Amino acid sequence: MRKVLLGSYAVAHGVRVARVEVIAAYPITPQTSIVEKLAEFCSGKTMDSKFLKVESEHSAMAACIGASTTGARTFTATSSQGLALMHELLHWASGARLPIVMANANRALAAPWSIGADHTDSLSQRDTGWLQFYCESCQEVLDTTIQAFVIAEQIRLPVMINLDGFILTHVSEPVEIPDIEAVDSYLPPFETEYKLDIENPMTFSSGMVGPTADLYINYRYKMQQSMERAEKVVEDADARFRGTFGRGYGIAGEYYTDDADVIVVSAGTIFGTTRGAIDEFRKKGLRIGSLKIRMFRPFPHEVVRKVLGRAEKIAVIDRNVSIGHGGIFAEEIKAALYPMEARPEVFGYIAGLGGKDVTPEDITEIVEHTLTHDKAAEDSKWIGLLE
């Protein structure tokens, strides 16, 4: 079935056809429309799910942790300050190896107060043990939501789906909604041997103190092993999805990268704007390409080295900033390229903070700056500062 949907509604339909059993949520702009649509589905019996209205985002994640521990397929959604409030329990969910799926409507963190798109909220959670995906379109949002449950339940780690607030959550696009029966063949019911069950008592997340304290490192090592295995799981899940529904995204997206002298790297909706600007450069005979980082955790080191290693220069556009350091994607890409003997020069650019538009003119400025400079500055260049 093909419908014109908001990005937030695309998430909700993905949750519906995934047959999620427990949804816990607290409203926050611009995420609220996701859970409003899910509440509508539940009240109208369009989906058979328990909808929990809680008093905070912290409680929403706590409820998902409890439900997932009983073996239920669970989902929540949040944004910005709400995601920050969940921080403590994000660590708990991953440490407990619970396959919770969450949509985050990317929004700038206060202060000053802002409701515009910004990736700093999700990237502040990059070390919590959650897989992270960044989506470009409403269709990709729906499809990634379905894939996320397959991935999470296979490697037993939670997954965060990120979509730009307002730029994607509140934009309408044509979306193909798969039949729920077809999704059933791709995503079977969640079954786990280890769950809270009064007929088979177990202890969960027990204290690592005293004689058992030395075991803690083993738990973290197993999480790291699962993250390292996740890339193959993501690729397989995406390939199976493409085989079933005719669409796939990979762990990264490429545009004119094979012969590019300069490759522009971005995530989320900026990638679409970048493609348009690159078309104009190509008309002028300039070999410019673009790479979209779809999967940020685990970081796709091999793809980054393979694709970016072919270029002379890399321009990384970060819709985020690590204050005191710079753009987060740029720094991770530099680290990924470090083992290469002949490394391309990486130019970092910070743009689009707080929902500020990243325009084709901005992309043009970024590319021209990269082309005309031999050496990248140690600090990221900020695009769009007011005089």
Q: Which residues pair with 346 in a beta bridge?
A: 314
Kindly state the tokens that stand for 140: 């990709």
Q: Check residue 206 and give its pLDDT.
A: 79
DSSP helix/strand/coil, 53: strand
Kindly state the tokens that stand for 50: 């328990």
Domains belonging to the chain, first-starting first, are: 2-194+226-244 (3.40.50.970), 253-382 (3.40.50.920)
Q: Is the dihedral of CA 95, 328, 140, 354 positive or negative?
A: positive
Residue 140 to residue 136: CA distance in whole angstroms: 7
Among the residues of 138-257, which ranges form H helices? 138-155, 180-186, 216-245
Residue 132 to residue 155: CA distance in whole angstroms: 14
CA 92 from chain centre, in angstroms, equals 19
Q: Check residue 160 and give its pLDDT.
A: 99
Q: Check residue 387 and give its pLDDT.
A: 78
* pLDDT tens sequence for the chain (387 residues): 999 999 999 999 999 999 999 999 999 999 999 999 999 999 999 999 999 999 999 999 999 999 999 999 999 999 999 999 999 999 999 999 999 999 999 999 999 999 999 999 999 999 999 999 999 999 999 999 999 999 999 999 999 999 999 999 999 999 999 999 999 999 999 999 889 988 999 888 878 888 788 899 999 999 999 999 999 999 999 999 999 999 999 999 999 999 999 999 999 999 999 999 999 999 999 999 999 999 999 999 999 999 999 999 999 999 999 999 999 999 999 999 999 998 999 999 999 999 999 999 999 999 999 999 999 888 999 999 997
150 in the Ramachandran plot: left (φ > 0), alpha (ψ -120 to 50) or beta?
alpha
285 in the Ramachandran plot: left (φ > 0), alpha (ψ -120 to 50) or beta?
left
Residue 334 to residue 98: CA distance in whole angstroms: 32
Q: Check residue 211 and give its pLDDT.
A: 78
